[in-house]
Structure 1
Amino acid sequence: MSAENTASARRHSPFGRQQETGPRATVRQLLPYLFEKRGLLAVVIVLSVLGAGASLAQPLLVSQVITQVQDGALLGPLVWLLVALVVVAGLLTAFQHYLLQRMGEGVVLSSRRRLVARMLRLPIAEFDARRTGDLVSRVGADTTMLRAVLTQGLVEAVGGTLTFVGALVGMAVLDPVLLGLTLLVVFTAIGLVLGLSGRIRRASAEAQAKVGDLAAAVERAVSAIRTVRAANATEREAQGIDRDAVGAYRAGLKVARVSALIMPVASIAMQVAFLTVIGVGGFRVASGAIEIASLVAFILFLFMMIMPLGQAIGAVSAVNQALGALGRIQEIIDIPGEQEGDADLAARAADPIDTDDAVRFDDVRFAYPEAVVAAVTDGDEPMADAADREVLRGVSFGAVKGQRTALVGPSGAGKSTILALIERFYDPTGGSVRLDGVDLRSLDRERLRSLIGYVEQDAPVLAGTLRENLLLGSPDASDADCVRVLHEVNLGSVLERDAAGLDAAVGEDGVMLSGGERQRLAIARALLAAPPILLLDESTSSLDGRNEQAMREALDAVAEHRTLIVIAHRLSTVVDSDRIVVLEQGRVVGVGTHSELVQSTPLYRDLAKHQLLV
């Protein structure tokens, strides 16, 4: 399977609806996100303690107010103190809520930064094996779930715990008998919550995965909307997206059902505890065991104890949902970045050799990873072993410095894969690829790619302006340099037709440009960087004869003192190359000039005949 076939299949395949929801995260993995805002966290905890103290003092004051009413004493100071405590508790709660929201947004921001930083550094194989929409969903929907941990979860539970413990102490002092009955109800509720918490985490992880499926389906259809419309496939695509939406809906209902079993627990526990206290407490007041003031205070403490219980139940639900989303986030963060796998390969790389070749392939073998193959085939085909999956089978050739080397052959021969190995998007599974005699596996990828200009077969144009596209690989280039390379690739007319010039918008995926203009813009971007090696994958396939000739002249001009490796199906664009490498089924079947290959290589001769070149 060649890279071009891989790319094509990825554009048109739903990539095997992955049912796995990914590894589940633990609370230990969640804590670093909370501790990133240590200062705010400390302030919130202090506010929680103060708020708990202000709340716990209120039942005691109410008890004293009732006692003084019974004794006929003045109430002024106590009433004003009680009002002050209520106001202070409200203000502390409001400020704490604001800080929690601020912390929550900070956690979402830091998690998104961390996830994006890792995602953009993943090995290319991960992008080939995963769906773009699902990755986008992890950055958007999954990171948002972490906010609930702060706004509805762990931090509020700190103040709630203090209030819960304080209420227990107050209730124990007032009436141990009533406290015992209350605790029986409370512990029963806690047992039910703990039994259901694991189900919430699993259901939440599944729901987030279904949202990822939906995002991937929408991204697939929107990115190819013109093709979908032209093929009259709008209704079929809509039905496919609808199925994913229904899947997300059903997964969300599953979370709702489990949550519905948990949320009433607090309400039922409160009602049962309240009725028990009223009934038994009223009997104890009538019997003279306790005073009415103590019963009122006990009931107030009961409400203060039940409220944190409800918060704790909400925290369990929120944390378990967040852990389901965090598992999907951590799955990406835990994947080693592209550079992290270099150390061992560099240690095994062969020693440098003296050579006239800018790039050298020595008995190179390569098979795409199983995950990539499974994604492309939608998981429907039995997985072949590595030997049967090989795309390159002992490829050896050299691209001489300062010369033009062309790669030709039928589709699927492995031409684009060769360029991918030179760029180190993948490393060979056997043999070696060398740059100036040095094994690529011993070179830093960033340094390597700074020496290479690469124009893909379907070179993307980024949404934005002409200038932004040109400066992608050469951020310090001047406007004059940008204008120069645009004229070199015959794109001067694009500058002239829009008064904005270099600031002219190209639209999403370059929709404001024709196919040939998009291709020439990609080539201009590579020429602007002026690297010593240029890799061109079907760089003139979308050009008409006039622009193809202009492009060849531009490439001839920049090719001086540079090494070009060009892939072409149209042999007319490469017949004057210094060296032509003919590939078939992952093997080199001929190397030479056009005239030599016509005489020596049957496959090349057939290709030339079909294109009327012999």
Structure 2
Amino acid sequence: MSTLEANASSRTLHVESQDERIGPAHARRRGGGPGPAAVWYLARRHRALLATGIVVGLVGVTAQLAQPYAIGELIKQAGQNKPLSASIILLVALFCVDGGFSALQSYLIGRAGENIVYDVRMLLTRRLLRVDLSAYGKQQQGDVLTRTVADTSLAKIALSQSLAQLVINGFTVAGGVIVMFVIDVWMMLITLACLGIASAISLFLARSVRRAAMVNREDTSQYGSDVQRVLSALPTVKASRAEDRETHRIGLLAWKARNSGVRVNGLNALFMPAMNVGTQAALAVVVGVGMTRVTRGTMSMADLTAFVMYLFYMVSPLVLFFLAIGQFQQGRAAIRRVDELTVLPQEGGVLDRMRHKSRPAPAKKSLSEDKDAVEFRDVRFRYGSADEGAETLTDVSFSVASRGMTAIVGPSGAGKTTLFQLVERFHALDGGSILIGGKDIETMPLSTLRGLVGYVQQDTAAMRGTVRENVVYAQPEASEEQIREVLELAGLTKVVDAMPDGLDTELGDQGSGLSGGQRQRLCIARALLQKPAVLLLDEATSHLDSDSEREFRETLSKVSSRCAVIAIAHRISTVVDADKIVVMADGQVQASGKHEELMKRNALYYRLANSQLQAAHSMSHTPEVPQPAHAGPVSAADAAGNSL
């Protein structure tokens, strides 16, 4: 491992260790006041480097403040015909110290800023990857991306460069004012009167910049969210001929962000003219009054030269000071937006992660055959609060054997996919319990639970990267032999062998480069490589053709002899071989049993299955399955509209 990689790894581990401390304390601080907490907490960890940079900058400023005085002394010595070598050497030394320490200060402050933004981004990444899915679903993904990338960059500027500029330039201005008072009090009072008016205007502009910057960040996030929304569904946009409508919609948001951005830039642009007017007025008055006093003999030319030079030296720091205020105000708006992401509810909760932190996940990936693999006991769940609608699941109870295949069928909206998400603890139960191998999943560390359960979701989640990276995603240490085994089980061996680079073939976003069925089989291979004790398949055969489905049914037969397989299926052909079929409707279990039993005694299952059986009968002329007497006639609507 290189030194750079080692440092990055060490810093990542350090940020992760801080995450537990940030969680509860952060929430308490948020409750106690309106100010941000987590970002400032991380920034304070780099205060030593920031302080060093500021001290180095102050040394350079001190050398800079001494330069006008040295030049004044040089003028005096020249007027008195004294040797100038010592004064010239001192002046050159001051120039070198000023330049060298200024460069070192910029490097140290820049390094501190990069460290801060790295820590903040690592904190955000860690917390976003562990975020509660219900809370994350309420966020706009484009806005989350904007906060994570753009807002953290603004926060870096505010917490490093702007703070340093405020201190260093503030010190420069204060030092110059003191020395100018020493040179001539009366002229300094005149200067302060001119600069005071300009400073008051600049402070007013700084407050306006902060408010305008907050609006601009929100407008920019809305624009980014809408762009992300459209690009994620680009084929649908094209198929719907919605390019012009979406261009107009996004254009309005872009125009809104443009207008608020113009306002921010306009307010920022007023800083320089406001300060220039004040300094130019001060300079005109100082030169006029100073020359009058020199001609009268009440002030020496050397003192006037030094005073004017200090005024010149003070102009740039004063402008930079107020510009830094404006930058800092914009950064505060960004910091608040970043901070809001750090308080999103975490999956399992901080205390839960701390409780199980020292417990390693068990190496055993199988369950005892004398216990049920999964047991649902009076499970209740609803999305949202009690006043937002009926329960999605109501008193769901059934068990799954440690070996074999269990199928869950029912009409759309029956709660089938929700059951799988509850097993994975993507959501918290409202009532009842779910047991894996006889243990309540709420008492298990998430890493242990998800090591025991493999999940192939309904929307195939292939990602950008190589085929190999997609397959080993849940099991990075897998061997070539293990990879080839699951590819064979999933029916992907021929597909991968036909690719130009085999397992190292690059796939695009969302697995582009593979067909829908191939992506689905890729996700199945990924789950099988995990060697789970329980395999959840959410309509895993929906994109497979007849031949591929037949091969996959053989795969399921092999896999189910080693672990429990629970499959949500909409095809009757997938269901008929199941050891157990659970029929769900309206969030409840209606019946369970084998295919033949349910066809005879459950009307809902008969209606769901019969539409496909009739279609198969019309194509293959197989005998029609007799309709149970209690099931009632099957209407055309039932046959066409019902699916498993």
Whether these two folds match at TM > 0.5 is yes
- C-alpha distance in 2 between matches for 1:444 and 1:172: 68
Moved more, 195-204 or 132-141: 195-204
Specify the alignment match of 1:605 in structure 2: 606
- C-alpha distance in 1 between matches for 2:557 and 2:423: 22
Which residue, 172, 175, 181 being the options, matches 1:163?
Answer: 172
Specify the alignment match of 1:381 in structure 2: none
Specify the alignment match of 2:451 in structure 1: 450
In structure 2, the CA distance between the partners of 1:302 and 1:278, relative to structure 1 (3 Å rule), is same
Specify the alignment match of 1:365 in structure 2: 380
Deviation of 1:417 after TM superposition, in Å, equals 0.6
Is the 2:583–2:591 Cα contact (8 Å) retained in structure 1? yes
- C-alpha distance in 2 between matches for 1:531 and 1:476: 15
Aligned letter for 1:206? V
- C-alpha distance in 1 between matches for 2:454 and 2:204: 58
Deviation of 1:488 after TM superposition, in Å, equals 1.4
Moved more, 233-242 or 247-256: 233-242
Deviation of 1:329 after TM superposition, in Å, equals 1.1
Specify the alignment match of 2:268 in structure 1: 259
Which residue, 293, 317, 331 being the options, matches 2:326?
Answer: 317
User: Is 1:531 matched with 2:532?
Assistant: yes
- What whole-Å deviation, never above 9, does each CA across 1:454-500 have from its counterpart, x for those lacking one? 00011211111121111111111111111111111211111221242
In structure 2, the CA distance between the partners of 1:395 and 1:469, relative to structure 1 (3 Å rule), is same
Aligned letter for 2:395? G
User: Is 1:237 matched with 2:246?
Assistant: yes
User: Is 1:134 matched with 2:143?
Assistant: yes
- What whole-Å deviation, never above 9, does each CA across 1:411-451 have from its counterpart, x for those lacking one? 11111111000000001122222223332222111110000
Aligned letter for 1:159? I
Is the 1:25–1:327 Cα contact (8 Å) retained in structure 2? no
User: Is 1:513 matched with 2:514?
Assistant: yes
Which residue, 50, 55, 61 being the options, matches 1:52?
Answer: 61
Deviation of 1:151 after TM superposition, in Å, equals 6.5
Deviation of 1:399 after TM superposition, in Å, equals 1.8
Specify the alignment match of 2:596 in structure 1: 595
Is the 2:117–2:155 Cα contact (8 Å) retained in structure 1? yes
User: Is 1:405 matched with 2:414?
Assistant: no
Specify the alignment match of 1:119 in structure 2: 128
- C-alpha distance in 1 between matches for 2:40 and 2:437: 48
Is the 1:153–1:311 Cα contact (8 Å) retained in structure 2? no
Deviation of 1:331 after TM superposition, in Å, equals 0.8
In structure 2, the CA distance between the partners of 1:364 and 1:31, relative to structure 1 (3 Å rule), is closer
- C-alpha distance in 2 between matches for 1:522 and 1:539: 9
Is the 1:406–1:580 Cα contact (8 Å) retained in structure 2? yes
In structure 2, the CA distance between the partners of 1:315 and 1:482, relative to structure 1 (3 Å rule), is same
In structure 2, the CA distance between the partners of 1:180 and 1:444, relative to structure 1 (3 Å rule), is same
Map residues 216-295 of structure 1 onto 2, 5 A cutoff: 216-295=225-304
- C-alpha distance in 1 between matches for 2:120 and 2:424: 30
Is the 1:205–1:321 Cα contact (8 Å) retained in structure 2? yes
- C-alpha distance in 2 between matches for 1:90 and 1:343: 53
User: Is 1:469 matched with 2:470?
Assistant: yes
- What whole-Å deviation, never above 9, does each CA across 1:179-213 have from its counterpart, x for those lacking one? 22222333433333333433322322222222222
What root-mean-square deviation, in Å, do the aligned CA atoms of Structure 1 and Structure 2 show? 2.7
**Secondary structure, counterpart of 1:525 in structure 2:** helix
- What whole-Å deviation, never above 9, does each CA across 1:393-413 have from its counterpart, x for those lacking one? 232222222232211111111
Is the 2:598–2:606 Cα contact (8 Å) retained in structure 1? yes
Deviation of 1:132 after TM superposition, in Å, equals 2.1
Moved more, 583-592 or 74-83: 74-83
- What whole-Å deviation, never above 9, does each CA across 1:300-347 have from its counterpart, x for those lacking one? 222233332212201111111111111111111122421325649999
In structure 2, the CA distance between the partners of 1:355 and 1:396, relative to structure 1 (3 Å rule), is farther
- C-alpha distance in 2 between matches for 1:341 and 1:76: 68
**Secondary structure, counterpart of 1:153 in structure 2:** helix
- C-alpha distance in 2 between matches for 1:30 and 1:157: 19
Consecutive unaligned residues in structure 1, runs of 5 or more? 1-21, 348-353, 371-383
- C-alpha distance in 2 between matches for 1:281 and 1:83: 28
TM norm structure 2: 0.83
Moved more, 187-196 or 225-234: 187-196
Which gives a bigger RCO, structure 1 or 2 (Cα 8 Å, sep 6+)?
Answer: 1
- C-alpha distance in 1 between matches for 2:81 and 2:98: 29
**Secondary structure, counterpart of 1:588 in structure 2:** strand
In structure 2, the CA distance between the partners of 1:264 and 1:434, relative to structure 1 (3 Å rule), is farther
Is the 2:490–2:524 Cα contact (8 Å) retained in structure 1? yes
Specify the alignment match of 2:551 in structure 1: 550
Is the 2:170–2:317 Cα contact (8 Å) retained in structure 1? yes
Aligned letter for 2:593? G
Map residues 371-410 of structure 1 onto 2, 5 A cutoff: 385-386=387-388, 388-410=389-411
Is the 1:25–1:323 Cα contact (8 Å) retained in structure 2? no
Deviation of 1:27 after TM superposition, in Å, equals 7.7
Is the 2:37–2:339 Cα contact (8 Å) retained in structure 1? no
Specify the alignment match of 1:436 in structure 2: 437
In structure 2, the CA distance between the partners of 1:28 and 1:393, relative to structure 1 (3 Å rule), is closer
- C-alpha distance in 1 between matches for 2:462 and 2:587: 30
In structure 2, the CA distance between the partners of 1:170 and 1:140, relative to structure 1 (3 Å rule), is same
- What whole-Å deviation, never above 9, does each CA across 1:34-84 have from its counterpart, x for those lacking one? 444445424422321221121111111122122223333333332342233
In structure 2, the CA distance between the partners of 1:476 and 1:465, relative to structure 1 (3 Å rule), is same
- C-alpha distance in 2 between matches for 1:496 and 1:45: 60
Specify the alignment match of 1:425 in structure 2: 426
User: Is 1:195 matched with 2:196?
Assistant: no
Is the 2:64–2:94 Cα contact (8 Å) retained in structure 1? yes
Aligned letter for 2:380? R
Which residue, 172, 194, 197 being the options, matches 1:185?
Answer: 194
Specify the alignment match of 1:578 in structure 2: 579
Aligned letter for 1:209? E
Is the 1:25–1:326 Cα contact (8 Å) retained in structure 2? no
Is the 1:193–1:262 Cα contact (8 Å) retained in structure 2? yes
**Secondary structure, counterpart of 1:339 in structure 2:** coil
**Secondary structure, counterpart of 2:468 in structure 1:** helix
Deviation of 1:29 after TM superposition, in Å, equals 5.9
- C-alpha distance in 2 between matches for 1:233 and 1:147: 39
- What whole-Å deviation, never above 9, does each CA across 1:144-196 have from its counterpart, x for those lacking one? 11332266411123222322222122111111112222223334333333334
Deviation of 1:583 after TM superposition, in Å, equals 1.6
**Secondary structure, counterpart of 1:411 in structure 2:** coil
- C-alpha distance in 2 between matches for 1:286 and 1:346: 82
In structure 2, the CA distance between the partners of 1:341 and 1:357, relative to structure 1 (3 Å rule), is farther
Is the 1:200–1:255 Cα contact (8 Å) retained in structure 2? yes
- What whole-Å deviation, never above 9, does each CA across 1:489-536 have from its counterpart, x for those lacking one? 211111221242221223322211111111111111111111110000
In structure 2, the CA distance between the partners of 1:303 and 1:118, relative to structure 1 (3 Å rule), is same
Aligned-residue identity in percent: 38
Specify the alignment match of 2:70 in structure 1: 61
- C-alpha distance in 1 between matches for 2:196 and 2:441: 63
**Secondary structure, counterpart of 2:226 in structure 1:** helix
Is the 1:346–1:443 Cα contact (8 Å) retained in structure 2? no
In structure 2, the CA distance between the partners of 1:389 and 1:198, relative to structure 1 (3 Å rule), is farther
Deviation of 1:112 after TM superposition, in Å, equals 1.6
User: Is 1:303 matched with 2:303?
Assistant: no
- C-alpha distance in 2 between matches for 1:25 and 1:143: 19
Specify the alignment match of 2:492 in structure 1: 491
- What whole-Å deviation, never above 9, does each CA across 1:527-559 have from its counterpart, x for those lacking one? 111111000000001111110010010011011
Aligned letter for 1:358? A
